Amino acid sequence: MVLKRAKKIRLLLMDVDGVLTDGRIYLQSLPDGAATEMKVFSAYDGAGLKLARAGGLRTGVITGRESAATARRAKEVDMEFVYQGRGKKLPAYGEILRAAKLKDEEVAYIGDDLPDLPVMARVGLAIAVANAVPEVKRAAQYVTKCPGGAGAAREVVELLLKCQGKWTAAVKNSCA
């Protein structure tokens, strides 16, 4: 069932905190009373997202928080869709579907927490990271072996590209 769904995927969307990061948000107090945010992203996920692009998969994020670190990381890995500050993710998902000219069954989504459930209920392949909350794991057709922030996105990219017979070419294209 997962393999059949994976073959149809043209767009991989995901949450950020808990999927591309381990879910922790670091806030550094500054002398003027302000705070600066820091997020930690996996190099493996970054390489995987670049492989996705090399294999013809479109990528993007829908996240409830606004973050300069997220915007920068998305640019570094050539994400096409970056929707931040979207506590309710379903409207953003609808906008992306229209812009991408795709159907639900052509989209996969990686989530970890309750705000991800409405999108997961719509997509062709719903994926939970290994450390997702139980409700998200139950809603998923696939649960990663890797936790969020530690290679889960790369694991999904590899699964999708291998199911579609594009893995070898993507590796060759990204390493050339």
CATH number at residue 90: 3.40.50.1000
Range of the domain at 26: 2-175
Tally the domains of the chain.
1
Q: pLDDT tens-digit profile of 62-120?
A: 999 999 999 999 999 999 999 999 999 999 999 999 999 999 999 999 999 999 999 99
Q: What is the pTM of this model?
A: 0.95
For 143-152, b where at least 16 C-beta lie within 10 A, e where not — what string? bbebbbbbbb
Residues 114, 122: Cα–Cα separation, whole Å: 14
Q: How far apart are CA 139 and CA 65, in angstroms?
A: 23
